[in-house]
Amino acid sequence: MSSELRTRTIVGLGLIAMAVGALVFGGFVFWMLLSIAGVLMMGEWGMLTGASSDQRKMAMYAVSVPLAILCPVAAGVSWLGFGLMMASFFFVLITSRAIKLALGILYICLPVMALLFLRGQAPDSHGLLLAFWALGLVWATDIGAYFAGRSIGGPKLAPRVSPSKTWSGLGGGVLAALLTGFLLYRFADLPIQLAAASGLLAVAAQLGDLLESAMKRRAGVKDSSNLLPGHGGVMDRLDGVVAAAPLAALLYLVLAGA
* Confidence at residue 257, expressed as pLDDT on a 0 to 100 scale: 60
Full DSSP string of 109-120: HHHHHHHHHHHT
187-to-11, 184, 192 alpha-carbon distances in Å: 30, 5, 12
Of how many residues is the chain composed? 258
Query: What does the pLDDT look like over 135-156, one tens digit per residue?
Result: 999 999 999 998 888 888 788 8
Cβ neighbour number for residue 3 with a 10 Å cutoff: 8
* Confidence at residue 4, expressed as pLDDT on a 0 to 100 scale: 66
Query: What does the pLDDT look like over 176-192, one tens digit per residue?
Result: 999 999 999 999 999 99
Q: What is the dihedral of CA 218, 223, 226, 228, to 10 degrees?
A: 150
Give the type of residue at 223. D
pTM: 0.94
- Hey, where are the domains in the chain? 27-119, 122-258
